[in-house]
Structure 1
Amino acid sequence: MKRVRYLLAVAPLALAVPAAAEPSTPPPPAETRDAAPAAPAQERAAKQVFSTGVAKGRDILDSAISTSSLGEEEVHKLGARSLSEILRTLPGIRVEAASGEGNANYTIRGLPLASGGSKYMQIEEDGLPVLEFGDIFNAASDIFIRADNNLAAIEAIRGGSASTFASNSPGGVINLISKTGDVEGGSVEATTGLDYGEKRVDFEYGSKLSEKLRFHVGGFYRSGEGPRDIGYNGYRGGQVKFNVTRAFDNGFVRLYGKLLDDRSPQYVPAPVHIGGTNDKPTFTPIANFDPKKDALSSTHIGTFLSLDRNNHAVAENFHDGMHAVSRSVGLEAQFEIGGFSFTERARYSANSGDLYRMVPGSIAPAATVAAGIGGAGGTLHYASGPNSGQLIANPTALNGNGLLASVYMAKVKLHALNNFTNDLRANRVWKVGGGDLTVTAGVYKAMQTIDMDWLYSTAIQDVVGGGNAALVDVSNAAGTKLTQNGYAAFAINNLSLLHRAFNVDYDITAPYGSVNYRFGKLAIGGSVRYDVGSVNGTVYGADLGGGRIGLISYDFNHDGKITQAESRTAALPLTQPSPVHYDYRYLSYSVGINYRIAEPLAVFARYSRGARANADKILFTSAINYNSGDLYDSNSAYDTVRQLEGGVKFRRQNIALNLVGFLANSEDQNIQSGSGLGTARTYRAYGAEFEGSVRHGPFSLTAGATWTRSKITKDLLNAAITGLEPRHQPEFTLQLMPQVQTKWATFGASSVTITGSYAQDTNQLRMPGFTVVNAFVQVHPTQQVQLSLNANNLFNTLGYFEISQATMPANGIAWGRAANGRTLSGSVRFSF
């Protein structure tokens, strides 16, 4: 077996602007969480002590790190349809918010997007990670977390010191902080789509049960087709969260829980006509298919057929989309004892569900597909929908575009993504030599299960919007069907590729500590962390080779005959499992210095080295010896990120300005989204981030800009890629949010601009840049009533986050993920 040493890329994903201290994640004291002033997020962050990802909360002008925050009110104004659309409004972050409710792509500071999810950044809920690994293929962290009216604030820290206060997050931490009943009262909010199908109800309430006992409970439920026309209720479900807090004279104890059971569609690359040149392509919608509003999903394509992990036939509801189930229970406690501050956080989450999606393999003229599969004289018939069984007599005129798509229908069965996390720490401040010496020590323990199946089939469907697409059968000139009810294979074409099952457990222990000394205007600090991991489990898949079976024949319709499609059935080699059994360990560290030049002005610098353990992305690669389960090269177990950053922070009443320069060198071994191919690379990125806010009377403005230059410094598998620019890396990302707030109304807009970038790493086809503008109006007829109107993508801009093709396609047909088109929503909120 060939020995491959992968090397990594990318880093974090966190959020905006300099501030804070060294990272971990203690949320702020409950007493300050719930009441967020109605001021711009950056202005509020500048005035508050920042607590996420830090050893001890400090004024951000005394801390050598970069941070951002959003309060509940700012989140409401954004009109975001998903968590990813919220996070994309913060400087320093690159979010491809085009896949729906989950499985969005996140990165930061020029670190590349080789795959989906957030490899180098942790998404946390109340100070603990949602999943230990944020980029589990097909099951990223954002699938199992929702932003609703329980949310008090979002805090984010980006930069190297995040690597020492949280595992697997050398790039940063984003923390969604829940309300805890500090402010008595609650609200009920009803929201409806005005030009799209969705109805939603949010509720939340908190109160004191006694002088030292309080609670908060809330959640949401929704139902509807969603922002794209798919022909059925793709959004169904919601969540309930609660917490109970007992205060003591020297601290508090909090118990909390969450039940999430939610379904939402996953939007995949969809077809579009492409013209022009590689440098200046033009995109034109295909007849009867709007890439901003339509999807390949359809009410007439509702059943998924394949073999499961036991090689038994399954027929399941394809309309379940991304079905996430999470049952969590947790504990948080903070106490001051003998001059020491102790913090304990623990949570267990039972995560499971399913994910269904279809991804184009090819899109071509219907007549070409008929001849390609059926030979000369091949014919086409509808295999589903109201025209099932009818001949498609004129393929060139089919739906006005004459196209058929070969799609890979996928089911990812999430048997268990169960996660247990415990973070115990203590710190103390001593007076030493006229300054403050802060010492922190802690230990982090996490256990993450990844028990899942990948199942694929190939089908033929027409290309039409409005949720009206149907499956299509192909027959030869003699009338013999070469597909079965629209299925061309119960595998990826005639390959066993990616038909997999694996059950692997990750056990992580990480002691950490920090020292910070502040005297006068100067603060110097350093932190260190040592991660020790143990990985054990079993994997199944013909991809592993060694004579393992891949394709078999299976009689799905039980007619005693094997069709061509049934002869192409992917099966698992159940008698040939392969072990996974290896250990790893790595050291992370961070050092920084901050100088408070004057009351409103500070400068800082920091150097950090962190890492991210590789999880499922190396399970089916030659990094592992599938006889012993061990690694051929211990360095394959994790990828490192080295970062140098420095900047200046300025804050006065009604104004805050921050400028940071950065340089990051990173490694990445991964599975590239879209192609499923392995990558092994090193990267370098440098640039600068700006964030600022200004407020004058009723007017306020927040703005952010990130300039980034990056390149692939070495590709270990394809030397031709070395020296080129990573795909999906715009040179500039810009955010802008002006607003006017009066006694009776608040109105404004939020815009995100990205400049052009390459569709793939070969640096041929460039995706044009674009701007998405969201607008909002909030009217307050009384203190208890708020009426809101939100417009998402107000100008209905066509902009692409992803194009699957590397160069201009010969037939002029490409497919990619575009931003959702304009959607309008209205809501009424009653507070009590």
Structure 2
Amino acid sequence: MRIAYLLAGSALLAIPQFASAQADSTQVDASDTAAQQAAGEASGADIIVTGVARGVNRLNTSISVSSIGSDLTEKVPPRNTAEILRNLPGVRVEASGGEGNANISVRGLPVASGGAKFLQLQEDGLPVLEFGDIIFGNADIFIRNDLSLSRIESVRGGSASTFASNSPGGIINFISKTGEQDGGSFQLSSGIDYREFRTDFAYGGHIDATTRYELSGFYRIGDGPRRVGYDAMRGGQIKANITKEFTGGYIRLYGKYLDDRSISYLPNPVLVTGSNGSPDYSSLPNFSINRDSLHSRYINQILTLDGSNRPTTRDISDGMHPVVKSLGLEGQVEIADGWNITERFRYSGISGNFVSPFPASVGDAQTAANSFAGTGAQLFYASGPLSGQRVTNPATIGGNGLLANVVLFDVDLNKLDNITNDIRINGDVALGGGKLTVTAGFYKSRQYVNTDWLWTSFFQTVEGHGNSVLVDIRNAAGVSQTQNGLLYSAAFFGNCCRRSYDMRYDTNAPFAQLGYEIGRLNVDGSLRYDFGRARGSVSGAELTGVPGVETFDINGDGVISPAERSVAYIPAGTTASVRYNYSYLSYSVGANYRLSDSVSLFARYSRGGRANADRLLFGPLINTATGGLVNGAKPYDFVKQAEGGVKFSSGPVALYATLFHANTQETNYLLSEQQFTSRRYGATGVEVEGRYRAGPFSITASGTYTDSTIKSDATNAALDGNRPQRQAMFVYQTTPQLDFGRVTLGANIIGTTSSYTQPVNQLKLPAYTQVNAFLSVRPVNNVTVNVNANNLFNVKGFTEAEDASIPTNGIVRARSINGRTIGASVRFDF
């Protein structure tokens, strides 16, 4: 393998809120970690516990790790979880999808489709879902940020391959408060130029000298950051934990209940002029690409068939609707001097919905109507204040003369339950003048994927402010060809994708690590052997080629309308079993040398695997007759990574620079293209982060440069050598602030260079810089008033687009970050 080396040019600096002290809470109690971090900052060192056998000074370990403290999220309240993660160095986050459904990757690893394929999102040391890219069930949908958050910690590459399953790219862990500090907070928040109201609370502390607890939660209601005309954001969360300490260990019980609705912002239409290489993106008349959405107060309930082919009414306002009921146990006990056993178990009952409109195409209204219903087609308003009236001038409908041919991504998440257990033993012994550290454990999880795809289609206007309406298309004779604008199948996707999944994935993984420290040198090596199985069934016409539409009186009025002649359903005899096993080995080896008290050098090489789950189904690797894999097929991908760098930490100054190279094999399913891919990727780059403090002034910054290529594509050799879609060469963030005690002000700046919309490397997504600003005032003790602006300068920051080049009509379907939103909050601490 060829490893290319880059030289880091300039030092980027960072503040203590990002303290770069990591923990995935997998080895040490959170309260111990907090104390270690405090001691580390005081001495200019950072204590980490993520991806290592036990808590260790950051300068003494050969992995790349970082952390975000809750202080940042309180000052610059994120509008969604993904916006927080953009502040982690080396982590690429497309924070344009709303409260969930973000695309997340690390260090140039590909995002060919959605979710976080090579990255695992965790809460308190265990995965939210075993697989971060379940279709319509991305892990970030089931996480919420509130006052329970202690910190967010990450490991990029390295030992993430062996200290967690299905996460060769890295681990991002959301760590909860556990009552270390007595007291609580109550916070009221409101949008100033957008409609959202929220209440947060948290309270915790000690019941007695050895028992402590934490209780927290939130509730919110409102449109959210975009103008949709109804309460798209509504719901909340409650979390609680109680910890009992005893000599040599502790035990903790915790629970979580989440029931929240929010919008998934899918690509929306935007006007693009200029050339593919130098495009100019601008909003369409009457539709702002970063303030509006195709969601509307006038498009609500949709009639369809459920997974059992029974008529059911679906509510678009459900949006992303996660319902999570979790109960967990965590404990640690000392069994001998220096030897501990740590046990973690969690059961999460997970269900809900994912409903959001996807524009299959957008164009001139009359042209779209003629294409569907023939020359002379007529348009009628089918919802809203003009419902039933004919559109007299289609060229002005919606204020722009456009219609969107929408496929409604409507998925019933019947069961995504996750059951996980991780047990490990670790300790150390003296050996040859040094110390040998030993860790061994066993990980087991069960992930259910039980979902029904209930897609329909409809015509709607392209209007902002939540005013879009359905449009009924009639032929020249005045006969409706839609049911008030609705079609009972994914008509604009070739009637595809009426599916049901009923799957269970079992993952088992023994793992072990040996580390040896002598003098200024420490080395370590770790192995993880994953073996698992997939059991279950899938149903859908695509499995057999049987037509997936039928004539059916779905509304029960006794009349078969033209729309009811093509009702999508799951035909009998289209169920196939899935039954296969797999196994693979991951490994990681690294070395770290402490040059001085403040400087160290490190290097590491790793190979980590990622089992593919539901994205293999309905694809060429599964034998639908036997349920097994086709000959030679492997249901997993490997990532091979080499990294090395320098770490410096001394008092108020810290700098960490890492060179990296990764080779990735990926098999994936591209949803909007209805296509399976198999590609090899290569990525080489450097990530730099740091911090600096001087008096009231402090600053953090991090930047990642990545040179990434498609090394080979199994189905399209023309893509070989191209840059992967949406992979920018450079991403960066910086957060300067001034803290005068009673008053704190600052900014959080996020930026990216340009990238390509698709791997053919034609149409570009422009570079952009987003500035978030905050002002916090403490008029009296224990009261904080905060005013913050997200995307202060209202930039259009495009993260993805469906079109590979500029269409003839100039209308591209793309996702932009949210426009400017200004909010305020008051917090009472007691």
Partners of 2:727 and 2:493 in 1: how far apart? 34
Does the residue aligned with 2:372 lie in a helix, a strand or coil?
helix
| Secondary structure of 2:634's aligned partner | helix
User: 1:35 and 1:196 mapped to 2: Cα distance?
Assistant: 40
Alpha-carbon distance between aligned partners in 1 of 2:341 and 2:491, rounded to the nearest angstrom: 53
Unaligned runs of 5+ in 1: 1-15
Correspondence 1:553-568 to 2 at 5 A: 553-568=551-566
Q: Is the 8 A contact 2:19 2:69 kept in 1?
A: no
| Residues 471/46 of structure 1: CA separation in 2 closer, same or farther (3 Å cut) | farther
Task: Check conservation: 2:27, 2:53, Cα contact below 8 A.
Answer: no
Q: Are the equivalent residues in 2 in contact too, given 1:496–1:543 (CA < 8 A)?
A: no
Distance 1:439 1:28, change over 3 A: closer
* 1:501, distance to aligned residue in structure 2 (A): 0.2
Higher mean C-alpha deviation, range 562-571 or range 492-501: 492-501
- Distance verdict in 2 for CA 1:439–1:491, change over 3 Å: same
SS of match in other structure, 2:482: coil
Looking at structure 1, the residues matched to 35 and 773 of structure 2 have their Cα atoms a distance apart, in angstroms, of 24
Distance 2:579 2:297 in 1: 44
Deviations 1:720-764 (A, max 9, x none): 212211000000001111001111111100111100000001110
- In 2, Cα distance between the equivalents of 1:672 and 1:422? 32
**Deviation per residue, 1:343-387 (Å, 9 max, x gap):** 000000000001100100111111111221222221100011111
Report if the CA contact (8 A) 1:245-1:255 is conserved: yes
1:530 counterpart residue number: 529
Letter paired with 2:487 = A
For residue 87 of structure 1, report the CA deviation from its aligned partner: 0.4
Report the more deviating stretch, 629-638 or 750-759: 629-638
Q: Which amino acid aligns with 1:579?
A: S
Contact 2:46-2:59 at 8 Å conserved across structures: no
Give the distance between the partners of 1:456 and 1:691, measured in 2 at CA.
44
Query: 2:516 — aligned with what?
Result: 517
Q: Is the 8 A contact 1:36 1:71 kept in 2?
A: no
Aligned to 1:461: 460
* Distance in structure 1 (CA, Å) of the matches to 2:20 and 2:37: 19
Task: Show CA shifts across 1:656-709 (max 9, x none).
Answer: 001100000001111124323211111000010011111111101111111001
The structural deviation recorded for 1:483 is 1.0
Deviations 1:26-70 (A, max 9, x none): 16423245689999xx97997331112322110000000001101
Q: 2:105 maps to which residue?
A: 107
Aligned residue in 2 for 1:31: 31
SS at structure 2 position matched to 1:636: coil
Q: Secondary structure, in 3 states, of the residue corresponding to 1:369?
A: helix
Determine the C-alpha separation between the residues in 2 that align with 1:637 and 1:24. Answer: 28
TM-score (norm 1): 0.95
User: In structure 2, how many angstroms separate the alpha carbons of the residues matched to 1:33 and 1:471?
Assistant: 55
> Counterpart of 1:597 in structure 2: which amino acid?
L
Q: 1:140 aligns with which of 138, 141, 144?
A: 138
Please say which of residues 766-775 and 210-219 is displaced more in the overlay. 210-219
Cα shift at 1:144: 0.9
1:310 alignment counterpart = 308
Kept after mapping to 2: 8 A contact 1:79/1:775: no
Match status 1:804 vs 2:802: yes
Q: What are the residue-to-residue correspondences of 1:67-466 with 2, within 5 Å?
A: 67-339=65-337, 340-466=339-465
Question: What fraction of aligned residue pairs are identical, expressed as a percent?
Answer: 47
Q: Cα–Cα, structure 1 residues 267 and 35, in superposed 2: closer, same or farther, change >3 Å?
A: farther
Alignment map for 1:770-785 (pairs within 5 Å): 770-785=768-783
Amino acid at match of 1:667: Q
State the Cα distance separating 1:493 from its structure 2 match: 3.3
C-alpha deviations, 1:90-134, integer Å up to 9, x for none?
211110011100110001101111111111111000000000001
- The equivalent residue for 2:11 is none
Aligned equivalents of 1:558 and 1:130: distance in 2?
42
Given that residues 220 and 239 in structure 1 are in contact (C-alpha distance below 8 angstroms), is that contact kept between their aligned partners in structure 2? yes
What secondary structure sits across from 2:491 in the alignment?
coil
Distance 1:422 1:489 in 2: 43
2:71 alignment partner, SS class: helix
Q: 1:11: which partner in 2? A: none
Q: What amino acid is the match of 1:387?
A: L
Deviation, structure 1 residue 285: 1.1
In 1: Cα distance, 2:650 partner to 2:43 partner:
13
Change in CA separation of 1:93 and 1:44 when aligned onto 2, cut-off 3 Å: farther
- Cross-structure match for 2:494: 495
Match of 1:658 in 2: 656
CA distance in 2, matches of 1:25, 1:512: 17
Does the 8 Å contact 1:114/1:673 carry over to 2?
no
Letter in 2 for 1:31: S
Gaps (5+ residues) in structure 2? 1-13
The alpha-carbon deviation at position 553 of structure 1 amounts to 1.3
Q: Distance in 1 between matches of 2:744 and 2:482?
A: 57
Shift of 1:415: 0.5
- Please state how far the C-alpha of 1:599 moved relative to its aligned partner: 0.7
Q: CA deviation at 1:543?
A: 1.5
**Letter in structure 2 aligned against 1:408:** V
- State the Cα deviation string for residues 174-203 of structure 1 (Å, max 9, x = none): 111111111110000110001101100110
> 1:609 and 1:628 mapped to 2: Cα distance?
31
- One-letter amino acid matched to 2:730: F
CA contact (8 A) 1:34 1:179 kept: no
Q: Is the 8 A contact 1:714 1:722 kept in 2?
A: yes
Helix, strand or coil for the counterpart of 1:324? strand
Partner amino acid, structure 1, of 2:454: L
Spell out, residue by residue over 1:135-179, the C-alpha distance to the aligned partner (whole angstroms, 9 max, x if none).
101111111111100011111111121010100000111111111
Match of 2:10 in 1: none
Deviation by residue 1:582-606 (Cα, 9 ceiling, x = unmatched): 0000000000000001111000000
Residues 361, 710 of structure 1: CA spacing in aligned structure 2 closer, same or farther, 3 A cutoff? Answer: same
Question: Are the aligned partners of 2:751 and 2:769 in contact in 1 as well (CA < 8 Å)?
Answer: yes
**Structure 1 pair 46–662 and aligned structure 2 pair: CA distance change class (3 A):** farther
Find the aligned partners of 1:224 and 1:304 in 2 and give their Cα distance.
Answer: 22
Measure, in 1, the Cα distance between the counterparts of 2:240 and 2:43.
Answer: 26
Q: Distance in 2 between matches of 1:128 and 1:208?
A: 25
Whole-angstrom CA distance in 2 between matches of 1:320 and 1:277? 39
Structure 1 residue 812: Cα displacement: 1.0
Alignment partner of 2:454: what SS? strand
User: What secondary structure, in the 3-state scheme, does the structure 2 residue paired with 1:226 have?
Assistant: coil
Counterparts of residues 571-590 of structure 1 (less than 5 Å): 571-590=569-588
Cα deviation, residue 561, structure 1 = 2.9
* Other-structure match for 1:486: 485
Distance (Å, rounded) in 1 between the aligned partners of 2:644 and 2:514: 20
Give 1:683's aligned residue. 681
Letter in 2 for 1:29: D
SS of the equivalent of 2:75 reads helix
**Is the Cα contact below 8 Å between 1:186 and 1:205 reproduced in 2?**
yes
Q: Deviations over 1:190-224 (max 9, x none)?
A: 10001101100110111211221111101100011
Does structure 2 conserve the Cα–Cα contact (< 8 Å) formed by 1:102 and 1:266? yes
| 8 Å Cα contact 1:20/1:63 also seen in 2 | no
Q: 1:721 to 1:18 in 2, by over 3 A?
A: farther
Q: Give yes or no for contact 2:25–2:175 (8 Å, CA) kept in 1.
A: no
Partner in structure 1 of residue 474 of structure 2: 475
Q: Name the CA distance, whole Å, in 1 between partners of 2:27 and 2:366.
A: 60
Q: Report deviation, 1:489.
A: 4.2
| CA gap 1:38/1:607 in 2 versus in 1, 3 angstroms | closer
In structure 1, what is the Cα distance between the partners aligned to 2:493 and 2:147? 48
Q: Summarize deviations over 1:265-309 as a string: whole Å, max 9, x none.
A: 111111111100000000121111011100000000001222111
Alignment correspondent of 1:4: none
- Aligned: 1:64 with 2:65: no
* Partner secondary structure for residue 492 of structure 2: coil
2:278–2:764 Cα contact (<8 Å) kept: yes
Q: 1:754 aligns with which of 752, 755, 760?
A: 752
Instruction: Give the distance between the partners of 2:373 and 2:705, measured in 1 at CA.
Output: 52
Q: 2:692 — aligned with what?
A: 694
Instruction: Report matched runs for 1:16-27 at 5 Å.
Output: 25-26=25-26
